[in-house]
Amino acid sequence: MPVTLEPLAEAIAHHSAKTPVGSILRTRQWAQMPLALRVRGQFSAGVESARILQRVQDGILRILDHSRTPDGVFESRARLRRDLMSLAREEGLTGPGPDSGRITDIGSAARTDLIVRTQTQQAYGHAEWKSGQDPDALDAAPAWELFRLQDRERPRDWMRRWREAGGRFHGSERMIALKTDTIWARLSRFGTPWPPFDFNSGMWVSDVSRAEAEELGVLPVGQEVQPVEADFNRDMEASVRGIGPELRQNLQNLFGPQIEVDGDRLRWKPAARDYEQAAATARTQARSFFARSEADQRADRLGHLHPPESQAALRSALEEARVEIAAVAAGRKPLFHEQLAMAGGQAPLARLARDWQRLLPAGIRIKADGDHLYAWNPALVGRLAAPGRPLWDQVREHAANGRWLGYGIHMFEPGAKSRVTIHAPDGRLVAGFIAPRAHDELYAAARARDWTEATGILHTYEIQSL
């Protein structure tokens, strides 16, 4: 059944309920976010601009309800795309560079077209799914058939994806399943049981009548099919409840004032502009500390007792320390700890800690204890600490705990893990840590961002399952 272009109240309601959310996260990192936050957030990979996000939100709504723009003309996809490209240029988010003109460039025609098309289709797809969950509609047409609505130059192998998702073929290899079957969510890149099921997909769904579904063996004759909307909503709510303190803190660090804790539940808060401003402030703080502390890596500050090869290793360790302490100062990382053996005993490290303390924002603590250097953000550490005990004692106690260091898991605890490595543009490995496999992309993105924002140079990461 072709997609209707009539204004659908449910499509409008679905998109209206979304909250614009700014973030550096890319698509594969968003895929590890709780389902409820993905469904209820209006976001685009790597976009932090509140103006662009709000223009998308308003524009999609006007497309859905066929209304006019503030200057009195009817909204159109072409007009919205032009406006988004113009905003990207105004904010310096497009232009010469490795991503210019590509799908990752927010100011490119390809990217703006993808944003507008995907979000419009998702609103219509949700409306079609919701209307199909009505008991009478479900009784009359209990199944969907996945079919190609639009041709593509390089079509995906949907029959393979259907098979791998656990789908059954009916008739002449027709991809048909009950509307209540979990295969639709498994098939979807977005984890939702309605189309589209991937970016730039030409596939859609059409109703299959009860008579045809029974004839094909999709369901037994006369069997009643129960709606699953309530089950889906319950599972969606469960995805944002009972989240551990480490992941909760990492999400708060990634999204700032846009995410709030309501009891044991996370939810979006309309604060994209506040996030954008806070992110800019954090970048300034991180880059300021990193730049001002650079003098402490000079050879004459490292001690003449160090041989050249030892100085190089210490200089590398100090660079990593400066980056991670900058992240602590910017409010993105709870704790930094490293053992730094410096020639001349403990005095040089204590002097370094005093020098760096003067460069840090008020409230951020740094301390040398023997040949160990610690820096912590009391507000972030306080979320993980046990109440009633001195914070410094707990900082030392958890100095090797990846949960406190911003990695999401203690490397020695059981569970599926991944090794994350951070790399400079020349491929040089600059840092590494162990992360929980279920959310390794989120922690990798956060820690790569530490390096990018401190140095002003894009750093990337690689993930290897352990």
3-state secondary structure the chain: CCCCCCCCHHHHHHHHCCEECCCCCCHHHHCCCCHHHHHHEECCCCCCCHHHHHHHHHHHHHHHHCCECCCCCECCHHHHHHHHHHHHHHCCCCCCCCCCCCCCCCCCHHHHHHHHHHHHHHHHHHHHHHHHCCHHHHHHCCEEEEEECCCCCCCCCHHHHHHHCCCCEECCCEEEEECCCCHHHHHCCCCCCCCCCCCCCCEEEEEECHHHHHHHCCCCCCCCCCCCHHHHHHHHHHCCECCCHHHHHHHHHHHHHHEEEECCEEEECCCHHHHHHHHHHHHHHHHHHHHHCHHHHCHHHHCCCCCHHHHHHHHHHHHHHHHHHHHHHCCCCCEEEEECCCCCCCHHHHHHHHHHHCCCCCCCEEEEECCEEEEECHHHHHHHCCCCCCHHHHHHHCCCCHHHHCCCCCCCCCCCEEEEEEECCCCCEEEEEEEEHHHHHHHHHHHHHHHHHHHCCCCEEEEEEC
Report pLDDT digits (tens) over 121-155. Answer: 999 999 999 999 999 999 999 999 999 999 999 99
Given a cut of 70, whether residue 100 has pLDDT beyond it is no
Report pLDDT digits (tens) over 397-415. Answer: 999 999 899 998 888 888 8
Domain locations in the chain as residue ranges: 1-132, 133-223, 279-465
Q: What is the pTM of this model?
A: 0.82
pLDDT band at 22 (very low <50, low <70, confident <90, very high): very high
Lowest-confidence pick of 62-66, 231-235, 403-407: 62-66
The predicted pLDDT at position 459 comes to: 95
Given a cut of 70, whether residue 3 has pLDDT beyond it is no
Given a cut of 80, whether residue 157 has pLDDT beyond it is yes
